Amino acid sequence: MQKIQQYIKEVIQELKKVTWPTWEELKGSTMVVILFSVIMGCYIAGLDFVFAMLVEKFLGRG
């Protein structure tokens, strides 16, 4: 039990040292992640579409 209490105290001490982002930084970072995810999703969907068309053409199903 002593080790658990010591661990929790150390965790709290370390969390006090963390520099948390401001609300504006958090919103900006979130928008970057969402935008990147949408762009990558469209890119992968486009590649999937192109490769599906190529496979259909080469297998004679199209």
Lookup result for tokens 């928008």: 31
| Token pair of 28 as six digits | 């900006």
pLDDT greater at residue 48 or residue 62 = 48
The confidence score (pLDDT) of residue 60 equals 83
The model carries a pTM of 0.66
φ, ψ (nearest 5 deg) of residue 22: -75, 170
pLDDT digits (tens, 9 = 90+) for 6-54: 999 999 999 999 999 999 999 999 999 999 999 999 999 999 999 999 9
**In whole angstroms, what is the distance from residue 61 CA to residue 59 CA?**
6
Confidence label for 62 from pLDDT (cuts 50, 70 and 90) = low
What is the structure's pLDDT at 20?
92
